[in-house]
Amino acid sequence: MPEFTLKIFLPMYFLAWFALAFALRSYLTWKRTGRNPYRLGKTDSAHDFIGRLFRLTILACAGVVLIYSLSSEVYLLLAPIYWLQHPTLVLVGAALLLLSFVWILIAQKQMGDSWRIGIDQEQKTSLVRHGVFKLSRNPIFLGMRVNLLGLFLCLPNAVTLAVMALGEALIQIQARLEEEYLSRTHGEEYGEYCRQTRRWLY
């Protein structure tokens, strides 16, 4: 993928991701349920602390994309990893970004009104086991992991490498926090689901 094309593709991609996977999905869930699906608060709990770090990773990703698209000189300050800057890897990264985007949208659609950002302690949602949730217990988190890898392959540098590592750790922790909550909430039904479906795809 030519550099000029990548400088257009990445900002458009992240605008579409924010608009469809976050803003629109949040609005639709709020409109149907009357509840804000964003459940990451500002307390000192582990759950909310992870939420703050998640926001940091999203801002870092957006910042890297903007810097890359607007200033080649400033982008050099992010310590590009030159030996990974290969056209084939960029194409693979772009394909992973698009694949993960579609995967996340499908998973959100299949979750319906159960979709939340974080853990909703105040309302019990239904346990979703159909569609892509037959393949993975955490398909949205799986999509986010692939998303971070795709961005790193498109823009390999010290910041995207650090964000990918931090994001991976946060996702692994948050997935386990949510699984503990689902186990308490749904009991044996969730235990059976865990025995039938892997946390990821492997």
What's the pLDDT tens digit per position in 111-135? 988 888 888 787 788 899 999 999 9
Location of structure tokens 């957006």: 62
Domain hosting residue 128, numbered range = 3-196
Residue 26 within a domain: yes
Residue 175 within a domain: yes
Name, in order, each residue with C-beta under 8 angstroms of 107's C-beta and a sequence gap of 6 or more. Answer: 131, 132, 133, 139, 140, 143
Residue 202 within a domain: no
* Percent above pLDDT 70 for the chain: 100
What CATH number should be reported for the domain holding residue 89? 1.20.120.1630
Lowest mean per-residue pLDDT among 28-32, 75-79, 83-87, 170-174: 28-32
Residue 201 within a domain: no
Question: Which of these, 61, 54, 49, lies nearest to 14 by C-alpha position?
Answer: 61
Q: What is the pLDDT, as a whole number, of residue 74?
A: 96
Residue 192 within a domain: yes
pTM: predicted TM-score of the whole model, two decimal places:
0.93
- Is residue 202 pLDDT above 70, yes or no? no
